[in-house]
Structure 1
């Protein structure tokens, strides 16, 4: 399987890639670089929008633009405007300060479900307590702002790996420092999640022993396989619905961060990676830390879901 390095500048912390089907473009966020990017493979055009804080995740919005999870809440970016335009970014909903202290918490990995809700987990730094949570944003006409935010789960340090099964009955969510991926029963009609239980537990780092990394961002294909980037493991794993490793794709960087499926047939797997905090030899390597990659896979992925804005 041939892995291609994309002709793009490295990201400090590349995350949240998705393929926009109508724009035929790859979008992703650079969390530490505080920017959102878009790349059109056919023309080579690369755009970026600077953010006022870390963009932990992004997703396309129905009608145009992006919904973005920043440090303190959810925002809508008008991608037809330049990021220097003060009207390009509009706040949809802030997270409650009594549950989300922005001094130590920020939004991290997230995506939309098929009903058009935007889900985003948070990360706590320093990791003094498992106070990171999972939040859900949805359009809600009776609310004062037109949008409602609910806390859906808690007890996490670094929320990652959010994905949904093809039948909309299972939600995946990982706790990266704990090396664990959990599963929930998911009701797409109500947005409720129940029956949280461990799904896959990876080995922790032990001095003197080979280390396979810890689960970071992920995506699901049409056959229900879960593809997960293994941070510090230098690979992407394809897991069966039973949690068995079906395939390992080695990456030329130590810290891949997330994957998505793209291209017209959704059989191109895109991979982001991290540069921030990596040793100089990784940052200055022929294929540098933070680079983006692509490879072809046999089964297509699920198409990206669009956030449904308030009508």
Structure 2
């Protein structure tokens, strides 16, 4: 694995790419562009992604048992059938959509969908929700930007970050009941100081994925790097990137060893975008350790 081997998937650029999903059945990559209000599908060999416009910002997507996708948008949960383009609302949001939206999320092994919300004002007023047949339950409150959701390979640990707080947390997790243990700060990162140049800033934790060895891959937004952390929180690898703002990694491909990284260009300085033409692309790289198959939503 070497930074020189990183390549953009296509020439397409998202404003704020997020939630890459290697679909376990279709064997294609899906993702979202949040401000552009799009769900995208990246097919091997295609010059551009297939695009499904959304009526509200999509924070994340998940594979749905029985086919299709679940899309967590500002205005609630929706299904999307890529074969027909049909979209149907599953549930209204459990927050005020004038002030918050769904952000990062994934299903657990039992098919419950977990989504962290984001406060538009970046205040600690959002929550991490567990969504099942009984509706949405706020499992962790007091978050500003819910992010970084992932599980250990044995399912006994749930990771979740608050990007605004520069902190990744972990919880003991019971897959049978969906219960969480106490929130424990796992890894903290230094906040950017006044007048600190971006080149000296390590970034803040955004989206994440866990590989087969239990290592946690995290995108460091504005830090121009991806970190691979051990279950103890130790840095195993640091992958420098050719773009300032990675948003989320995903492991997939036929053998699970292709690393996909969504990135952002929205509201970035003009000189940065000139210097970093891959900003907004989905970046790819081959890695040694495969990822875990994506879980499906059972509703």
**TM-score of the superposed pair, with normalisation by structure 1:** 0.91
How far 1:45 moved relative to its partner? 6.0
Stretches of structure 2 that go unaligned for 5 or more consecutive residues are none
Stretches of structure 1 that go unaligned for 5 or more consecutive residues are 83-87, 141-146
How far apart, in 1, do the equivalents of 2:144 and 2:55 lie? Answer: 24
Answer yes or no: is the 8 Å Cα contact 2:148–2:206 preserved in 1: yes
Answer yes or no: is the 8 Å Cα contact 1:56–1:71 preserved in 2: yes
Written as runs of structure 1 = structure 2, the 5 A alignment for 1:120-269 is: 120-127=115-122, 129-138=123-132, 140=133, 148-206=135-193, 207-208=195-196, 210-269=200-259
**Matching residue of 1:115:** 110
Which of 43, 50, 55 is 2:58 aligned to? 55
How far apart, in 2, do the equivalents of 1:46 and 1:53 lie? Answer: 20
Which of 263, 266, 277 is 1:287 aligned to? 277
**TM-score of the superposed pair, with normalisation by structure 2:** 0.94
Which of 79, 84, 89 is 1:91 aligned to? 89
Answer yes or no: is the 8 Å Cα contact 2:11–2:47 preserved in 1: no
How far apart, in 1, do the equivalents of 2:52 and 2:104 lie? Answer: 19
2:182 partner SS: strand
Which of 262, 266, 282 is 1:276 aligned to? 266
How far 1:165 moved relative to its partner? 0.5
Give the aligned CA root-mean-square deviation in angstroms: 1.4
Q: Residue deviations 1:54-91, cap 9 Å, x none?
A: 00000111111100101031111111123xxxxx1111
How far 1:248 moved relative to its partner? 0.8
Q: How many residues are matched?
A: 293
How far apart, in 1, do the equivalents of 2:14 and 2:48 lie? Answer: 17
